[in-house]
Amino acid sequence: MAKVAPQRDWSDAVLYFVILDRFADGSGANNTNVDRNNPGGFHGGDFAGLTAQLDEIASLGATAIWITPIARQIDYCPPAQPPTGVSVPGGWFEHCAFHGYWADDYQTIDPRFGTEAELKQFVEAAHARGIKVLLDIVYNHAGYDARYLTSHPQWFRTKPVDCAVDPLTCQVGGLPDFRTELPEVRDYLLDAQLGLAERTGLDGFRLDTVKHVEHDFWQLHRRETSSRLGDDFFLLAEVWGGSATVLDEYFVNDEADAGFDFTFKGSCESFVQGKGRTIAFASYLEKRHKVRPGYHLAHYLSSHDEPMALHNLGGDREAFRLCVALQMTSLGIPTIYYGEEVARGGSVWPLNRNDMPWGDRAVLPGKGVARDEEMRAYYRKLIEVRRANRALSVGGFRRLSSDGDLLVFERSDPESGNVVVVAVNRGATEAGASVEAPAAWTGGAREALSGRDATIEGGKLAVRVAPRQAHVYVPR
């Protein structure tokens, strides 16, 4: 059994995001209406499969797993047209609720994912490996034509509202919008979600569509989770368009512990493609440190709601590796979208939600799908370096050089005395700089990815980086 050193706290976390249905099928007995030829259909992933393949995640070095919602889903599969330029069977597909965001019954787990006992077994197996578990939770809406519309019609808004006009009373994607201001709605949803967490030992929630629910609900939610699940129960908020500035209105009253940084992905993709000045990207990285003390940003390269980064980069794996290096050396909780670490070949929706690649391993639904083991090894090394150097998770930021295509910056943690220097060359030719060597490096330094000793003379670190490569200098 692979194990990971448990995270010291959530600033030390590396989060692995799994769409449960797309990861691993461990039991054919629950494969109701599975259609792996439909990019919007159920593909068979379940708790049993995820539990069986936990070593894949533990051996990567991730300290926490976020899984998509698991409540019983609606059975209706609306027909959908793909975006222009996306090739799917027949030019269309049926969009089923494999993703878990279209609940029909919050009191029951969807049998296609497994049972509550199997969820508890998964959580216990993750804990045995040193991994925490976050469950995706939806309070804002139910699924299309969900049973609640008949049993409790008074729980929903009936007047169509555009989200651009009022994000609190709109119907996101036309989905039935809960009147979360009503005490009976709040009580029902909180009892369902917190009760499941109590029974299964979850470590936290990933909160969906946060900007579409009123602040006093989230403040009540925090009080209830602290009371019933403990002060350490972690809340990660999806506030669309989130950044250190945008998320602060959710941190100031302690409604969440962390939120997704929607700015990192695009900024990094642009930088590694040579767009914009290097000093501007350095300034951007520095501004991310303005997050409220004690709260966290979670930064990602790909997600289920946005195009895959490797696709946006035109399949350029060297450019993608630069973004991985920057993600793992920047402030925040690095969030890995399943299969990204083996260069999963997804693109835009719906193909950004394709199957986990398993190569030659006999794991469905992604059996036979090619994977890049060298990319995975690169991730493993960077995660190892990040977790071994406290400065990379909590340290401050200082730009050391930003001439041309070479960015050199320092991350330093005064409390531990740990200092790391990162150098990223996005250019097509070798680049170098002579920068101040950290005084804390009394025993010298090495480049962590290659293991080679760093050159330090006269208090200066000689930085030489090959084209489209990254160096991470750590104390020896």
Q: For position 427, what pLDDT does the model report?
A: 98
CA-to-CA distance for 18 and 27, rounded, in angstroms? 17
In this prediction, residue 150 has a pLDDT band, given cuts at 50, 70 and 90, of very high
In this prediction, residue 185 has a pLDDT band, given cuts at 50, 70 and 90, of very high
CA-to-CA distance for 25 and 20, rounded, in angstroms? 9
Say whether both 187 and 277 belong to one domain: yes
- The answer to whether the CB of 86 falls within 8 A of the CB of 160 is no
Structural domain includes residue 1 = no
Q: Per-residue pLDDT for 378 more than 90?
A: yes
Structural domain includes residue 453 = yes
Q: For position 32, what pLDDT does the model report?
A: 95
Q: Tens digits of per-residue pLDDT, 211-239?
A: 999 999 999 999 999 999 999 999 999 99
Structural domain includes residue 150 = yes
Q: Tens digits of per-residue pLDDT, 260-303?
A: 999 999 999 999 999 999 999 999 999 999 999 999 999 999 99
Average pLDDT over residues 374-380: 98
Structural domain includes residue 4 = no
Structural domain includes residue 267 = yes
In whole numbers, what is the pLDDT of the chain averaged over residues?
Answer: 97
Q: For position 352, what pLDDT does the model report?
A: 98
Query: Which of these, 202, 310, 306, 292, lies nearest to 251 by C-alpha position?
Result: 292
Structural domain includes residue 5 = no
Boundary of a domain, candidates 363, 388, 413 = 388
Q: For position 136, what pLDDT does the model report?
A: 98
Q: For position 399, what pLDDT does the model report?
A: 98
Domain that holds residue 420: 397-475
Say whether both 361 and 404 belong to one domain: no
At 425 the three-state DSSP class reads: strand
Say whether both 130 and 203 belong to one domain: yes
Average pLDDT over residues 69-85: 95
Q: For position 89, what pLDDT does the model report?
A: 87
CATH number at residue 47: 3.20.20.80
Query: Which of these, 160, 143, 137, lies nearest to 221 by C-alpha position?
Result: 137
Say whether both 371 and 427 belong to one domain: no
Say whether both 371 and 433 belong to one domain: no
Boundary of a domain, candidates 388, 409, 435 = 388
Q: For position 394, what pLDDT does the model report?
A: 98
Say whether both 288 and 411 belong to one domain: no
DSSP category for residue 255: S
Query: Which of these, 269, 283, 126, lies nearest to 202 by C-alpha position?
Result: 126
At 428 the three-state DSSP class reads: coil
Structural domain includes residue 207 = yes
In this prediction, residue 357 has a pLDDT band, given cuts at 50, 70 and 90, of very high
Average pLDDT over residues 60-83: 97
Average pLDDT over residues 363-376: 98
Boundary of a domain, candidates 322, 354, 388 = 388
Structural domain includes residue 463 = yes
Q: Tens digits of per-residue pLDDT, 309-348?
A: 999 999 999 999 999 999 999 999 999 999 999 999 999 9
Q: Tens digits of per-residue pLDDT, 395-438?
A: 999 999 999 999 999 999 999 999 999 999 999 999 999 999 99
Say whether both 415 and 306 belong to one domain: no
Q: For position 84, what pLDDT does the model report?
A: 87
The number of distinct structural domains making up the chain is 2
